Every structure is written in structure tokens, then in C-alpha cells.
A and B are shown apart, each in its own frame.
Chain A
């Protein structure tokens, strides 16, 4: 009889154990702004960080989705080119970031961009003209801090856009 009660108690406690395990997993999860604080400390910004920040800018909200889902979403919006074949940990270049910013903000650009379409080179020139980014080569790496400032500039640009 006693063993019956003990078994019953164990069965009753099982859901509690599962909830406790779930809570532990939740607490072990990274906070939603952690990638920004990590980017601030990085000498080189990564493509993964840029994708996450740019998607937040485009969608107006943060997503906890993994990199593949974020990239698919961005490709669907025409913000990244799936043919780039970039990985999450790849170093971010100015040209790539400029392309993403121009596409997100819907910047039409000047004559060249209107005629030949958006390329990383033209996008960077447009971003420099609009003071969203500093001058540099398209293959130049972007620091984590630059990434934060550029996304901030893009957000301010969007707010002030007539």
C-alpha cells in the first residue's frame, strides 16, 4: 500500500519536474539584446549580427528565429541576395551592409542605381551620400560598433524621411 502511494507521488511530481526543467532552459537562454552588446565588443561585425539587426529594422520587431530563418525572411523581402552564400560567422563588409540598408530603407538612389540596379558598390556610395555610412571600400570590414551606428543612422533616416 505504501509503495502504491510512493508511486502516485512520483507520478504527480513528474509535471512539476518538467516545468522546472523548462524554466531552467528558459533562464539559460540568451537575452534578446545580447547580440547587440556582443557586437559592441567585436573588432569585426559578422553577417549574422547584421542580418538580425536589419531584419528588426525591416520588421519593426525582434525575432528569436535562427540564422537560416532570418536569412530566408530577408531574402524574401529582397534585402539580401541568396547567391551571396554568406555564413553567419562571416565578417561583414561595408558593401554588403550598404546593400542591406539601401534595400531596407527603399532608397532609390541616383541615375546610376536607377539604370543598373542596386549593387554593393552603388549602395555604399548612396549610403555615404546620405551620411548613413562613412567612406570606404566595399570589401572593407565593418566593426561591431560601426554596425550599431549604421543601423542607428538608418533608423533615424527612416523616422525623418518625408
Chain B
């Protein structure tokens, strides 16, 4: 009798151990916005103007115009997502399972600033663009997906925490504040080039001090093969020239 009771207890414990906590959909709250912001919830036929304290569930989209921003709070304030101007993003996943929050924001174009705050919930946050995924944990930073990049070209500016960026089958991790300390706690800028499948890290106080590294080190670490930003201008999509345009001949006079 006693043996069978122990067996029953062991079986019950084993079954409850293997069971995953029940997934429960949660909502994001649009706590503040500035300018022209439109949202499209799954139940909406068309885009509607945003309103304060609007609830956005999984599948909702948000679009900000020029000079417009929106702030979203996920799961009672554990995660703050600031949608920057000229952005279209979608809440692809937003669910709570036990003490874990799964959030996936799909960025079509534009930028979002993610701030994961300490709280009761462990957050698994992802920002996805058409060709890349950025995983965030315990961090604060900005993910930008330029419209022209088609999702392959991502700019990631991290302030704290741990980030993993994957694009084109290539992954790269950036470890938190340690790396930032090498650059006097300055934000870093990681760019992924779709055509070459290379990551380039940037750090510096202003444009002329930016260095780019393609070595195996952490983002922001200076490597021996790093070259100054201006010297590799041929590789930069916008080909920055570090000199002002020279004197051009005057425009032709009208006939």
C-alpha cells in the first residue's frame, strides 16, 4: 500500500514536471503618442487613428508618420517599446507562459527602441525584420531597419544588456555593458551588410572617430585590423566623403 502511494506520487510529480505552463495571450498598451500614429488591430478593417491607452493584442500593427512617436508597454510595464518616427511594426507574438513573457515585434521599416526592465517576468524578446532576427535580453537599445535594406541591413545601437543578431544565416552576439566600457560607455552601432554577409561594428564619440571592426572580438572592441571609418568609404553604401564638396563651376546662365 505504501509502495503504491509512493509510486503514484512519483508519477504525479513527473507528469507535472514535464508539463509546460499554459500559454496565455496578453495585450500591449499604447501609453503615449505624439503626432500622427495609426494602428490596425486584428478586428479592424482598416487603419484607425491611435488613441491613448488603446489595447493592442497579437497581430496588431502600428504605423508612425514623420515627427511622430508612440510608446507601448508590454505586460504591465516589464517591456517598453518606443516606436520611432516613420516606422511600421507589427506585434507578431505577445504571450505569457508562467513567469515568461514572449514578445516578437516585426519591423517592416523604421526603428524601435526596446527597454527591458527588471520585473517579475522573464522576457524573451525578439525584433524581426524581413531577413533578420534580433534577440534581446535584459537590454536597452535601438533596432533600425531602413526601408531600402529590405530587412538585410539592420542598424543596432545597444546601450546595455545582451543582444544576438542573426541575418543571412550569420549570427553575432553582443554582450552587455562590458563591451560598452571599452568605448567609455558609449553606444555602439552594428551593421550587417546583406551583399557581403559581414557585420561591422562602430563606436566613437562622433562621426570622425568611428572605427569599424570585422574581427572576432566583441562589438565595440578595437581589433588590430580595425581601420578608421573614413578610410573604407568605398564600402559604405552612401560612400561618405570626409571633405566638403569643392567649388563647382557656376550653373549655366539661361539662354
Contacts and interface: CB of A to CB of B under 8 A. Distances in A.
A57 B35 CA distance: 11
A129 B108 CA distance: 28
Contact of B86 (A27, A135, A143, A155): A155
A112 B46 contact: no
Nearest to B236: A131
Q: In the complex, which range does the number of interface residues on chain B fall in?
A: 35 or more
Nearest to B108: A40
Interface string A28-64: 0001111011001000000000000100110011100
B238 A37 contact: no
Q: Identify whether the interface residues of A are mostly helix, strand, loop, or mixed.
A: helix
B244 A148 contact: no
Nearest to B61: A37
Q: In the complex, which range does the number of interface residues on chain A fall in?
A: 35 or more
Contacts of A146: 147-148
B29 interface: no
A128 interface: yes
Given A31-B38, A62-B36, A129-B244, 11 more contacts: A31-B46, A31-B47, A33-B38, A33-B63, A36-B65, A61-B35, A61-B67, A129-B245, A131-B238, A144-B147, A155-B86
Interface of A: 27, 31-34, 36-37, 40, 53, 56-57, 60-62, 110-112, 115-116, 119, 121-122, 125-126, 128-129, 131, 133-135, 143-146, 148-149, 151-152, 155
